[in-house]
Each structure stands twice: as C-alpha cells, then as structure tokens.
Amino acid sequence: MFDGKMKALTFSYDDGVTQDIRLAELFHKYGLKATFNLNSEYLGTDGRLLREGVQVSHKKVLPADVRHVYEGHEIAGHTLTHPRLPELADDAEVIRQVEQDRLKLSELAGYEVVGFAYPCGGVNHDARVERLIAEQTGVRYARTIESSHSFDLQVDLIKFQPTVYHHREFNEMLRLGEKFLSLTPDKPQIFYVWGHAYEFDIRDDWARFEEFCQMMSGRNDIFYGTNREVLLTGGGQED
C-alpha cells in the first residue's frame, strides 16, 4: 500500500525545461507531486522546438536554480546529452551517459538521484541497455514511453511503463482519471502520467491541464507522491 492507501498518483516530466517552473508551481497549488528528468549537460542552454507547426521554447533550467525549482518534487536522470541509448554501440558510453548524469544531478539536488527516464521517442531502450543500467549504475527505476493504460503494479522497474502520455493522449488521460477516482481497489493501483512541460505551450493546454489536476487533487483515498515515493517506498520496496 501507499502510506496506508490503495491508490497512488504520480507524474513524470522530461528535459528540464523552464516551463517546469510553472508546472511545479501548479502541482504545489493542488498538493500533487512529480518527478522531473533532467539532462545535466544541457542545463542552462537555450533552444526552440517545432511541434505541430508551432515554435515552442526548449530553454533549460539553470544549474544554480535546479534545487529551488524542483523543491518538494523529485529530480531524476535523463542522460547527459539525450542520446538514443540503443544506438550507442559502446557499453561504456551508455553507462557514462546514465551514471555521470545521475551523479551530477545528485550533487545539484543535494540527495542521491536514483530515478531515470529513457530519452528519445521510438525504440529508446532494449535488453542490453536495461541490463547495463540495472547492473552498472545507481539507477533503481527507469521509465519508458510506452503507455500501459493500466493501474496495476509492475515487477520490472527498469522498464516501467507509464499509464498515459498527457499530451498525445489527453482525452484518454481524462477518461482514466475519472476511472481512477471511482476505483475502490482491493490491491494497490498506480496512475502514472508523463510528458514534457513545453507541450502545454503548443495549444495552450495549461488551463485544461489545471482542470485535470484540480479534479484529481484532495482525495483522502489517494497517495500523492513522486515516482520514487510511489515506486520504491509506497510500492512495498525498501528505499
């Protein structure tokens, strides 16, 4: 159980973009918690992305601001420079990308970082990469990008599947949210939402997402935690 509750809600957002500042404040407003997955070598850099015909900012949080911006949430790894790990032929480079990022972020965070999210779309993890991360790094859970559309607990936390991708499956996220609220389960259930904060700028979905946060908040039968709190502590594993 999760602090005595059968249901847990957690969020995960990638890339360490400055839109995380607004998102973290939104989560604070509604008593929700998230994990933010950062590329340590890109912190403080500027950039823009073209998404759905719209130019959006991809500017990264400054290293000096990391601890303050993500206070009350969790900082996790996303590799040093966001490569597609299965395409790195050198095992040592896979390990370096993951472990050096984890160590740098641990220094910035002021605590040991143990979470990770695989970078890039498409096939962004495979058995070799998973084995290297599990055996050669300090990572204890790693999130994929494949939606499970399920609330059930998962055994293999090195290829953990989120429930839903907020941006590409917004309506499905709302449907699953309503379903999750109505559950009275007899076994632990996790609702895990992930995405990128810059995606809220594409169609100005901030207000719509805030409605979702408000809908999901303030329930005495739901544990609101970071990925680490839900997967490693509340999920019954020793932290």
Task: Give the pLDDT confidence of 7-61 residue by residue, as tens digits.
Answer: 999 999 999 999 999 999 999 999 999 999 999 999 999 999 999 999 999 999 9
For residue 109, the number of C-alpha atoms closer than 13 Å in the C-beta half-sphere is 23
pLDDT of amino acid 239: 43
pLDDT surpassing 50 at residue 238: no
Q: In whole angstroms, what is the distance from residue 128 CA to residue 91 CA?
A: 9
CATH of the domain at 133: 3.20.20.370
In a domain, 98, yes or no: yes
Instruction: Kindly state whether residue 157 falls inside one of the protein's structural domains.
Output: yes
**Is residue 1 in a domain?**
no
Task: Give per-residue pLDDT as tens, 111-130.
Answer: 999 999 999 999 999 999 99
Question: What is the residue range of 147's domain?
Answer: 7-234
For residue 239, being part of any structural domain is answered with no
d(CA 6, CA 221): 7
- Residue 215 three-state SS: helix
- Asked if the structure places residue 54 within a domain, the reply is yes
Q: Which amino acid is at 88?
A: L
Q: What single-letter DSSP state applies at residue 61?
A: P
**pTM, full prediction:** 0.96
Residue tagged 């990391």 (tokens): 66
**Cα–Cα dist 69/162, whole Å:** 24
Structure tokens at 204: 């100005």
Q: How many domains does the chain have?
A: 1
Share of the chain above pLDDT 90, in %: 96
User: Once rounded to an integer, what is the mean pLDDT over residues 181-185?
Assistant: 98
Is the predicted pLDDT of residue 172 greater than 80, yes or no? Answer: yes
145 occurs within a structural domain: yes
For the cut 80, the answer to whether the pLDDT of residue 180 exceeds it is: yes
The encoded tokens of residue 94 equal 């896979």
